[in-house]
Amino acid sequence: MGRIRYGMWCLEQSTSGVRGRARAVTGGTATAGRELLWATELSLRAMTRQAELARPEPWSDGKLLASITVFAVCALVVATVLGIGVARWAMTESNSLLFAAAGALAVGLVFLPLAYLVFASKGGNR
């Protein structure tokens, strides 16, 4: 057996454990990724189906007032978080990006139901 062949065999023997563990980790990660993708797809299908079947009904004055009050309080909290985050970011203080990112996420989560309410009307009544 030549020196090159022996060196290659020795390298293969010393790295076989690492390669086996790497294969096991990547296989497990791929399986978990496929499961998460499948669960996400099923959740989105169920959510869109439930949203299509939802039928709005008129609210009473008390329920409308309560919902507007809750919405106003949530908007005030979001504005406060955004104000603190932007103020800290403008002062270049550490940990300021967390507040700004949380505020931006909250604004996005507030706009999603509003966008659904605005654009969810179907053209069947026209």
The CA distances from residue 58 to 6, 27, 61, 69, 101, in Å, are 82, 52, 10, 17, 36
Residue 95 confidence (pLDDT): 66
Owner of token pair 């980790």: 25
Distance separating alpha carbons of residues 115 and 23, to the nearest angstrom: 45
pTM metric for this prediction: 0.36
96, 85 contact by CB (below 8 A): yes
The ranges of the chain with pLDDT < 70 are 1, 92-97, 99-100, 120-126
> In which region does residue 92 sit, left (phi positive, over 0), alpha (psi from -120 to 50) or beta (all else)?
left
Q: Where are the domains of the chain?
A: 1-54, 60-126
Which amino acid belongs to residue 80?
T
Q: What pLDDT score was predicted for residue 41?
A: 92
Percent of the chain residues past pLDDT 70, beyond the cut: 86
3 state SS of 36: helix
